[in-house]
Structure 1
Amino acid sequence: MVAHGLSDDDADRIFQALADRTRRDIVTRVLTSEQSVSELAERYSMSFAAVQKHVAVLERAGLVRKVRRGREQIVHAEVDVIHQARSLLERFERLWQHRVARIDALLTEHDATQGD
């Protein structure tokens, strides 16, 4: 299934990357403003190499992009990919809202027939 520009493999990579709280935090930070990997690493109680690995997972998922600026690697959010993931989640939300509404209607119908 391809939904909102995301293949199943793309969606898997994105949501697996976002399953980790540190990676979610990194995405949130770089959505606010671009940051170097060094700046990101200062915020976590883990090694620089560990933060680099988290950024690499996000980059493979397409959620961020690194750009070399001098000696630093600057991390930018890939807003279009984040919007595609949001659209997919909104699609699932609408699906489940419809299903819950249908269940409510069936229960109401059942209650009405039982009251007779």
Structure 2
Amino acid sequence: MLSVMAAVSDREEEGSLSWVDKVDARLTALSRRPILAAMASLIHPRVSVDPAVCGGRPVIAGTRVRVSDVLDMLAGGASVGEIVADFPYVSAEDVAAALAFAARDTDHPVVTAKG
């Protein structure tokens, strides 16, 4: 965002930027954050990604509980019930969403050689 605004500022000083370009550049810079949140909600509605929350890492929506934290707890042997008991603002559905998000995130296309 800063680079866009710096470029706009430089061009404004030169007088080469029209008012339409100025408005467009500012709207583009300001609209990136909602677009990132919308993209995350398309991936999974219970998981959000916001650069202003936990450094942009995927979290359970509306919390600061990272998907990686949920996965670490499960890998460490915690049950879904224990996670929900420790974090009352996280539901069993949120834990399932973290697993689904991670599964989708680690999926990759399989490449086969033609012979």
Higher relative contact order (CA 8 A, sep 6+): 1
Question: TM-score, normalised on structure 2?
Answer: 0.32
The structure that is strand-richer by fraction is 1
Question: TM-score, normalised on structure 1?
Answer: 0.32
